[in-house]
Structure 1
């Protein structure tokens, strides 16, 4: 009974995510290479999702792997080492999806996200960069709605940047993440749906890690 309750919680979570992203179970099956009948049984609570299922779904739906693991009833130790491991697992899943779907020809890596963030950090120091953040963040937020749990973290970053709370280095780091989110054509362009925002979530994670070292 307990396992059914946990799986039902996952099913409700997956239904909500599919609705937000206007995805069908058939499309999710195509993107993750998981049989549609298996996805249907997971969502209905008739089958427990495996870690492999959850990793593929997390990469495709743009949510932290830990969120799906928790909803499925797995114990997730949120240690720094495991969170970093989750990012690398997501990278592998993203690249696999990109290759099989033929949506995007370039290789995806954490390094490419880091390089883009560094460029945007420098840009956030300029008046044009500041204006891009202050005038563009809310517009982008209205466009994407509540896609991705990283949105709440970006909102906190925006308020921090707007109120100039932090050292110049910290504000540049925050500004880089905000510009990364605002500009649609980043490492994985946002129009490559549904994984176009996955790199934004990874960028937020990288920035939060970097900020923790500056605290």
Structure 2
């Protein structure tokens, strides 16, 4: 199926949004950290946008990621796209520590969380959380069981009303959510945020034990 058969191509969509908001490709480059020439080639349909490109465009331009994926020709199953709610069955799987497939393991998530703990305690890590959390929250849909938990952790992180060790645990879960290097990529709809939810459950469990 061609891009055009689904409506606007990703190039046309980006061009219209930039024109509507009086944004130049150079400014979009600054905001997304994507080279201006790359953006130009995507807009002029001389190259295909990668999933990383599309996620950055979605965050900065506040365009639904599903819309960009469809315009770029990526398959999207609209029956399973997460917009405003988090699937209760997935939440139950997380809460009972069950796994959706062999591709995801709680141990992998734990290892990733542990790797973020030192970064959380740096100025750069803290600023990244404070600066990028809201944008990633919008991309995730903004509401739902795991998102509500993530908001609560973010509030505690901002207030810094917990012990240093607990702050590192909270920050590692927030970074896992923000940084697009997941056990399951976020663009895999219906399960893409499952490992982020697992990260929240792991962090919450550790915090409960520490309290």
Match of 2:122 in 1: 126
Q: For 1:187 and 1:170, how far apart are their aligned partners in 2?
A: 23
Deviations 1:29-49 (A, max 9, x none): xxxxxxxxxxxxxxxxxxxxx
Aligned ranges 1:1-215 → 2 under 5 Å: 23-24=78-79, 58-59=89-90, 63-65=91-93, 83=95, 86-88=96-98, 91=99, 94-95=100-101, 107-146=103-142, 148-215=144-211
Change (3 A) 1:166 1:144: same
**Structure 2 portions without partners, runs of 5+:** 1-75, 82-86
TM-score with structure 1 length normalisation?
A: 0.55
Q: For 2:209 and 2:92, how far apart are their aligned partners in 1?
A: 22
Are 1:148 and 1:201, in contact at CA under 8 Å, matched by a contact in 2?
no
**Structure 1 portions without partners, runs of 5+:** 1-20, 29-55, 67-82, 97-106
Q: For 1:194 and 1:165, how far apart are their aligned partners in 2?
A: 34
Q: For 1:185 and 1:148, how far apart are their aligned partners in 2?
A: 22
Q: Matched residue pairs, number? A: 131
Q: For 1:133 and 1:163, how far apart are their aligned partners in 2?
A: 13
Aligned-CA RMSD value = 2.5
In the TM superposition, what is the alpha-carbon distance from 1:189 to its structure 2 partner? 1.1
Q: For 2:120 and 2:194, how far apart are their aligned partners in 1?
A: 22
Q: For 1:212 and 1:123, how far apart are their aligned partners in 2?
A: 22
Change (3 A) 1:169 1:194: same
Q: For 1:185 and 1:126, how far apart are their aligned partners in 2?
A: 19
Q: For 1:132 and 1:191, how far apart are their aligned partners in 2?
A: 21
TM-score with structure 2 length normalisation?
A: 0.56
Deviations 1:47-82 (A, max 9, x none): xxxxxxxxx9824xxx3359xxxxxxxxxxxxxxxx
Match of 1:32 in 2: none
